[in-house]
Copies of this chain bind each other. A is one copy, B any other.
Amino acid sequence: MDDRSIRELLKDVAEGRLTPEQAHSRIKSLPFEDIGFAKIDHHRALRCGVPEVIFCQGKTPAQVGGIAERVLGAGSNLLATRAEPAHFEAVRQICPEAQYRQLARCITVRREAEPPRGQVLVVTAGTSDLPVAEEAVVTADMLGARVRLISDVGVAGLHRLLAYAGDIQSARVVVVVAGMEGALPSVVGGLVAAPVIAVPTSVGYGASFQGLAPLLTMLNSCAAGVAVVNIDNGFGAGYLAALINAMGDEGSE
């Protein structure tokens, strides 16, 4: 309910196009759909520019299927993250063309195919960071970005990273995914003028403390232009990257 819509609603009441009761009801008919265990936010696309995304962890397949049905019924694309195969089964029964991106653990349905925009680069320190990176790739892709993935270029073999310096420097946004000591975002942040989104992963052992070590590393990065999302949160990084990537197109409007 932004400022402008309140003004218009009030004007409609004043000019008799709406009774007070109708206006009140409209305010109450808030832009979400209540299906008991969940409230689906159909107008999110209007408010935030992106459709509702389903976080499957902690939800039953039936719940995910139910939410997916409403989202798809509203004509939106579908993105469901942290999906287990059972979640996918539930969605596929509703929508046979749904796809399951196994490594990323994502379910996707794409209704319309705009050409991808800009360039989001996702970089990983190690091979084991790939599942988190893939979640970022799928997410940014679903939100309209052109995405590229470079993996296994951790800081202990700097020449591997430097071989891609040109690619890294030409991206609009760089997502850097790293576990263990999580040093890669600092190094990448020193090479580029683009924003860097750092994703710590729980890859590692011992004093990694399930990703606490790379999380702290990234928060303390001495390179400017780096911000951090939650441990293993490939979705959050891909989402934010897509938002920023899209800004590169807006100036031309």
User: A residues engaging B (CB < 8 A)?
Assistant: 1-4, 6-7, 10-11, 13-14, 16, 19-20, 23-24, 27-28, 30-32, 37-39, 41, 44, 47-50, 53, 57-59, 63, 125-128, 130, 151-160, 162-163, 165-166, 169, 172, 180-183, 186-187, 189-195, 197, 200, 202-233, 235-237, 239-240, 243-244, 247-253
Contact = CB atoms under 8 A, between A and B. Distances in A.
A49 B217 CA distance: 24
A16 to B, nearest CB: 8
A239 B28 CA distance: 32
A163 B28 contact: yes
A143 B125 CA distance: 25
Contacts of A247: 172, 195, 244, 247-248, 251
A156 B230 contact: no
B157 A44 contact: yes
Per CB-CB distance, the 5 closest pairs between chain A and chain B, nearest first, are: A206-B231, A58-B128, A183-B183, A227-B227, A251-B251
A217 B219 contact: no
Contacts of A37: 127, 130, 151-152
Contacts of A190: 47-48, 155-158
Contact of A156 (B27, B222, B227): B222
B160 A41 contact: yes
A229 B225 CA distance: 9
Contacts of A2: 165-166, 169
A38 B219 contact: no
A128 to B, nearest CB: 3
Given A14-B19, A37-B130, A208-B220, A7 B24 contact: yes
A206 B217 contact: no
A41 B250 CA distance: 32
Contacts of A222: 125-126, 154-156, 180-181
Nearest to A56: B128
Given A206-B211, A217-B182, A49 B158 contact: no
Nearest to A12: B20
A66 to B, nearest CB: 10
